[in-house]
Amino acid sequence: MPLLRVLRTRGEVLVVICDAGLLGKELKKGELRLKVDESFYCGEEANVEKCLQALREATIANLVGSIVEHATKAGFIDHTNVIRIQNVPHAQMVKM
């Protein structure tokens, strides 16, 4: 189940979503490193629909794991902007 964290600051809505099983792991691909640190990614368990609802309000998002595919299908992320680190999808979103 995804973990969802929503932070509101200075007019921005930051949505952070990761698969619970990735929490605390460090993913590596060549020189690229992504640490799925609890201090940033830890949030409440949420179903996919709740995560997508949060993304509708987001001005900035950081996504790791299975939610990336759902966000892509829902039109939040373009599949060409998804990277895979140790075969785990990762994407970021900024609304301009």
Residue 89: CATH number of its domain: 3.30.1860.10
CA distance 94 to 43: 20
Q: Looking at residue 89, what is its pLDDT?
A: 98
Predicted local distance difference test score (pLDDT) of residue 79 = 95
**Low-confidence residues of the chain: pLDDT under 70:** none
Q: Count CB-CB contacts under 10 A for residue 78.
A: 10
pLDDT value, residue 96 = 85
Question: What distances in angstroms separate CA 43 from CA 63, 65, 66, one per listed residue?
Answer: 13, 14, 16
Task: Say what the pLDDT of residue 18 is.
Answer: 98
How confident is the model at residue 86, as a pLDDT? Answer: 96
pLDDT of residue 3: 98
- Total domains in the chain come to 1
Quote the domain boundaries for residue 49: 2-94
Q: What is the pLDDT of residue 72?
A: 98
Compute, in degrees rounded to 10, the torsion defined by CA atoms 54, 42, 20, 86: 100
pLDDT recorded at residue 36: 97
Measured over the CA atoms of residue 50, residue 56, residue 59 and residue 63, the dihedral's sign is positive
